[in-house]
A and B are shown apart, each in its own frame.
Chain A
Amino acid sequence: MKEHVYYLPAILTVLLLCFAFAQEPVLFDGTNPVVLSFQAGSGQGAIPSNDSVPRTSLISPDELAKSLRTVKRAPLILNVGPRSMYIQAHIPGSEYMGAGSSDAGQQKLRERVQALPKNSAIVLYCGCCPWSDCPKVHPAYQLLHALGYTNVKVVYIANDFGTDWVNKGYPVAKGE
C-alpha cells in the first residue's frame, strides 16, 4: 500500500503533461466569440469516389504542401475561386484565374494554358465552400480535361480554404 503512494505523483504528472500538450478548445469565455464546429456537406471524411473529378486527379492539401517544399520545379497552381478570398489568402505562387464557373474565368484559364504542353503539371484549387458544394473547381477541371491536359491535379479541400489550408499552417500569401 505504501508503495502506491509513489504512483500518485507520477499519474498526476502524466495528466498534467497531457493537459499541457492538448489542443485548447475555443469556448465562450466572455472575451472571445464562440467558435462552433463546422458542418461540411460531405466534406469531412474520406475523398469521395463518385465525383466529377477522378480520384486519381485529386491531391490533398497536405500532399501539395509537402511537395511544394521538396520539388525543384513547382507545378503551375491556378486559383479558380472568388477574388476576395484569393486576396485574403492564397497558395504562394498561385495565379488568379477568376471563378472557374464563369465565362470570364474559363476564358482566362484557357488563355493561360494555351501555350503549355499537354502534359504540363497543373494544380487547380478553390476552397470557397465544402468540396461537394464547390461550383467553381469542377468546371475548371472539366475544361482542362476537355482541352486535353493530362497532368492536372485538383486540391481536395474538404471544408474550405481557411479550415483546410490556412488553419493547418501551410504557406499563405496575400494580395493580388
Chain B
Amino acid sequence: MSSKRIAIYAVVALCLLGLYIASRRTAQKPKPKASGNLAPDFTVKDIDGRKLTLSDYKGKVVLLNFWATWCAPCRTEIPHFVEMQNRFGLNGFQVIGISMDDDAKPVREFAQQFGLNYPVAVGDDKLAESYGGVLGLPISFIIDREGRIYAKRIGAADAAVFDNEVIDLLRK
C-alpha cells in the first residue's frame, strides 16, 4: 500500500472520529430545566396578599424579573421597568417582580418608595429552581404572548435591549 493511500485512510479515520465526537457532544447537551421553552407556571401571594399566577397573563408579553432590595444592579434596572409598564401596559405588556429577599417587609417598603406599578411577590428556592436556578441577581425572562420563554438575561441589561425585545414581541 502506498504511503499516500495510508495518509488518505488516516485522514478519513480522523474525519469519522471528529464526526463521532461532535455527535456525542450534541447528544449530551443538557436540556433546559424549563419544560420545552414554556415558562413554568407558578402561583404565589404577592406582597399585598393577592394571588399571583403567571398563566393568568397568557396573551400578554411578560417581563419576569428576579431581583432583591439589596441588589444594586436590580435597583438600577427597576425604574426602567416602571417606565416600561407605563409605556407598554395598555399594549399587552406586564412586568412581574419576584424578589429573592428573605422576607416581605423590605420589599413592601421598596415597592412604596420606588412606586412599583406591577405585581411583586417574594420568591423561594423552589420557584427559582423551576427557572433553572437563581444563583445571582438580577435575572430576567422575557415571555411571549403564548407563555414561551423568549430570552433570559443574567445580570443587569441595557434598558434599550429590554425595550427592543418587548416592542418586537408586542408587534407579533
Chain A residues, CB < 8 A from B70: 99, 101, 128, 135-136
Question: Across the interface, do A85 and B100 meet the contact criterion of CB distance under 8 Å?
Answer: yes
Judge whether B15 is part of the interface by a CB distance below 8 angstroms.
Answer: yes
Please report the total number of B residues contacting A with Cβ < 8 Å. Answer: 47
CA distance in complex: A101, B106 (Å): 14
Per-position binary interface string of chain B over residues 110-153, scored 1 when its CB falls under 8 Å from any chain A CB and 0 otherwise = 00000000000001110011000111110001000000011111
Question: Across the interface, do A12 and B136 meet the contact criterion of CB distance under 8 Å?
Answer: no
Question: Across the interface, do A163 and B154 meet the contact criterion of CB distance under 8 Å?
Answer: yes
Judge whether B29 is part of the interface by a CB distance below 8 angstroms.
Answer: yes
Residue B135 contacts which of A17, A21, A161 (CB distance < 8 angstroms)?
A: A161
Name the segment of B6-14, B46-54, B78-86 touching the other chain: B6-14
For chain A, residues 119 to 162, give those with C-beta under 8 angstroms from any C-beta of chain B.
127-130, 133, 135-136, 159-162
**Distance in Å from the Cβ of A25 to the closest Cβ of chain B?**
12
Chain A residues, CB < 8 A from B141: 33
CA distance in complex: A133, B154 (Å): 15
Instruction: Decide: A32 near B157, CB < 8 A? Known: A13-B14, A88-B134.
Output: no
Question: Across the interface, do A166 and B135 meet the contact criterion of CB distance under 8 Å?
Answer: yes
Most A CB within 10 A of own CB, among B7, B102, B128, B141: B102
Name the segment of A34-42, A58-66, A67-75, A107-115 touching the other chain: A34-42
Chain B residues, CB < 8 A from A30: 37
Question: Across the interface, do A24 and B72 meet the contact criterion of CB distance under 8 Å?
Answer: no
Residue B152 contacts which of A31, A33, A128, A135 (CB distance < 8 angstroms)?
A: A33
**Distance in Å from the Cβ of B104 to the closest Cβ of chain A?**
13
Chain B residues, CB < 8 A from A1: none
Question: Across the interface, do B154 and A38 meet the contact criterion of CB distance under 8 Å?
Answer: yes
Residue A163 contacts which of B14, B21, B136 (CB distance < 8 angstroms)?
A: B136
Please report the total number of A residues contacting B with Cβ < 8 Å. Answer: 45
Question: Across the interface, do B134 and A83 meet the contact criterion of CB distance under 8 Å?
Answer: no
Question: Across the interface, do B36 and A31 meet the contact criterion of CB distance under 8 Å?
Answer: yes
CA distance in complex: A83, B34 (Å): 23
Instruction: Decide: A40 near B155, CB < 8 A? Known: A85-B100, A87-B125.
Output: yes
Q: Can you sample 16 A-B contacts with CB below 8 Å?
A: A6-B7, A10-B11, A16-B19, A24-B26, A33-B37, A33-B150, A34-B150, A34-B152, A82-B101, A85-B125, A88-B133, A128-B137, A133-B73, A135-B72, A160-B136, A160-B155
Please list the residues of chain B having a beta carbon within 8 angstroms of any beta carbon in chain A: 4, 7-8, 11-12, 14-15, 17-19, 21-22, 25-26, 29, 32, 34, 36-37, 68, 70-73, 100-102, 123-125, 128-129, 133-137, 141, 149-157
A-B pairs with lowest CB-CB distance, top 4? A160-B136, A162-B135, A16-B18, A20-B21
Please list the residues of chain A having a beta carbon within 8 angstroms of any beta carbon in chain B: 6, 9-10, 12-13, 16-17, 19-21, 24, 28, 30-36, 38-41, 82-85, 87-89, 99, 101, 127-130, 133, 135-136, 159-163, 166
